[in-house]
Every structure is written in C-alpha cells, then in structure tokens.
C-alpha cells in the first residue's frame, strides 16, 4: 500500500512551462508503458527511461510511480464526468425512447472499459489498496450514478417501476460490478457472453427489466448494426490499402467484437 500523504506532497506542481513539459513527458511515458504491461510491473526506472529524462527530475515532480498514476486517473475521471454530463443531458434524448438511453449507456460503458482497459485496471487495483484512489473513485462513481438517475427520473412516466431511483442504481451497480469484475478476473463462467455485443444485450435486458422500461427500439438496433458494418468495411479497406503499400497479402479480419467492444 502507498504511504498516506497529502496530494501536494504526492505530485509537486511545476511552476514553469518547461517543468510542466517534463511532467507531461513522464505522464505520457507511463501511459505508453501501461499499453504494454500491468502497472504493478512498471518501475520508476521504466518511466524515466521511456521519458528520456533523469531520475532526479522525476522525483522533483512525483513522490513515486503512484503519483503518476494519480495524474492519469485524475484526468480520466474528469473526462468520464464530462462525458457523463453531456450524455445524460435530457435534450440529447428528446424524441427517443428511454430504452435507447439505457442501451447506449451500457454500450458506451463497455466500449470505454475496453479502450482504456490498462488504465481502468490500474486505477481499480489502486482503489482497493489506497484510500486516496478509493475515495476519488467513490466520488466519481457517485457523480455518474446521480447523473444517470436524474435523467431517468426526468423520464419516469415511461418506466413501470415503483422506485425509479433504486432501479437506476441497480442498473448502475449491475454494469459497473460486471465490468469491474471482468476487468480483474476475466470471464470465468461456462455461459459467459461470447462477445461484447452479447454482453451489452444481456446487461441491457436486465437493466430494462429493473426499470420497467419498454424494449429497445428495432430502428435503433438497426442503426447500430449498420454503423458497425460501416466501421468493419472501413477497417477492411484500410487493411487492404496497407497491404498494397507494403506488398503483403491482406489477411482475414479478426473478430474485433470479442473482448474489444469495437462493434458492441
């Protein structure tokens, strides 16, 4: 566990632009390393080497490697809260059934976990062992849960649910617990969803049931399927262009929906 200290001691704010640039080099280096191995295997020496800076310059800005993770998680949390605020704006969903909101919320949550898999996992592990990360995660999750709840309460006339607030929290708990557990341990039951598209569908069905919401509209699902086909076609075309440029034979497309969320 990381020793307890104030955030001012943990990350020392730079006073000059050049010092800020060096700080960003370390943060970027840590993010790049997270794409190659788990955070617990990353050392300060790794970060310093990737950033092409000195150990002294690192410790002039950070107490330890967890302070770098703090910066990454802080920025991620801010981004998530901003996206949640925009996503849950009632104006965004005017003229669309509430079940479309439920499905799209779950789909984007799955996609977000896949795209930021390494950072999400590092933050989750840190939250379980360090109260600073745990407190920050609690604040962020509660804010997102309340934003979702506020939207669903604004559409309560469409929900056959005795307690919309509790129904919203059940949906939030269901999605976050499922994705957190899978992130840490993987899919380990014999009937686990075979693809992210299946996972989104199953979670949506359970959330819709908890809320007493109508089924997701067929038109919305058709639009999603069409968009997924367009993305696959664009990727296939890009692979073909790359193959022509390199003189290689284009290979078969991989199943990008499995554990990636690309077409969920």
What φ, ψ does residue 11 adopt, rounded to 5°? -125, 120
Q: Which domain holds residue 20?
A: 7-59
Same domain, 113 and 181: yes
Q: Which of 22, 19, 25, 26 is nearest to 42 (CA)?
A: 26
Residues 230 and 226: their CA atoms lie apart, in Å, by: 6
* Residue 154 falls inside a structural domain: yes
> How many DSSP H helices and E strands does the chain contain?
11, 0
Same domain, 105 and 215: yes
* Residue 249 falls inside a structural domain: no
Neighbouring C-beta atoms of residue 29, cutoff 10 Å: 21
Residues 216 and 13: their CA atoms lie apart, in Å, by: 48
DSSP 8-state class, residue 151: H
Same domain, 139 and 27: no
Same domain, 82 and 156: yes
Q: Which alpha helices (DSSP H) does 11-64 contain, by range?
A: 17-34, 44-51, 55-59
pTM surpassing 0.85?
no
Same domain, 123 and 197: yes
Count of domains observed in the chain? 2
pLDDT in tens, the chain (264 residues): 334 444 555 666 655 666 788 999 999 999 999 999 999 999 999 999 999 999 999 999 999 999 999 999 999 999 999 999 999 999 999 999 999 999 999 999 999 999 888 999 999 999 999 998 999 999 999 999 999 999 999 999 999 999 999 999 999 999 999 999 999 998 888 998 889 999 999 999 999 999 999 988 766 666 666 666 776 777 777 766 655 555 554 443 333 333 333 333
Same domain, 18 and 78: no
Same domain, 109 and 44: no
What φ, ψ does residue 42 adopt, rounded to 5°? -85, 135
The residues, any chain, with a CB within 8 Å of residue 51's CB and separated by 6 or more, are 22, 25, 26, 28, 29, 58
Q: Is the dihedral of CA 231, 237, 240, 246 positive or negative?
A: negative
| Structural tokens at position 263 | 């077409």
Q: Which of 181, 152, 180 is nearest to 167 (CA)?
A: 152
């Amino acid at each position: 566990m990381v020793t307890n200290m104030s955030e001012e001691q943990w990350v020392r704010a730079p006073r000059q632009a050049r010092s800020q640039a060096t700080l960003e080099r370390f943060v970027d280096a840590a993010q790049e390393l997270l794409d190659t191995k788990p955070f617990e295997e990353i050392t300060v020496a790794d970060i310093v080497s990737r950033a092409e800076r000195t150990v002294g310059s690192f410790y002039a800005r950070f107490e330890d490697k967890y302070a770098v993770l703090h910066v990454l998680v802080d920025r991620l949390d801010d981004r998530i809260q901003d996206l949640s605020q925009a996503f849950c704006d009632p104006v965004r969903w005017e003229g669309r059934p509430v079940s479309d909101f439920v499905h799209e919320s779950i789909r984007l949550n799955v996609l977000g976990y896949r795209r930021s898999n390494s950072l999400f996992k590092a933050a989750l592990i840190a939250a379980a062992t360090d109260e600073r990360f745990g407190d920050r995660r609690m604040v962020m999750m509660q804010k997102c849960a309340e934003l979702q709840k506020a939207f669903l309460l604004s559409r309560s006339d469409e929900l056959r649910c005795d307690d919309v607030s509790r129904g919203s929290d059940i949906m939030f708990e269901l999605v976050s617990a499922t994705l957190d557990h899978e992130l840490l341990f993987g899919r380990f039951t014999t009937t686990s969803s075979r693809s992210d598209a299946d996972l989104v569908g199953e979670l949506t069905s359970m959330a819709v049931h908890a809320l007493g919401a109508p089924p997701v509209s067929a038109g919305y699902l058709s639009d999603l399927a069409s968009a997924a086909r367009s993305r696959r076609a664009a990727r296939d075309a890009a692979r073909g262009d790359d193959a022509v440029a390199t003189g290689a034979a284009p290979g078969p497309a991989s199943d990008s929906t499995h554990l990636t969320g690309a077409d969920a």
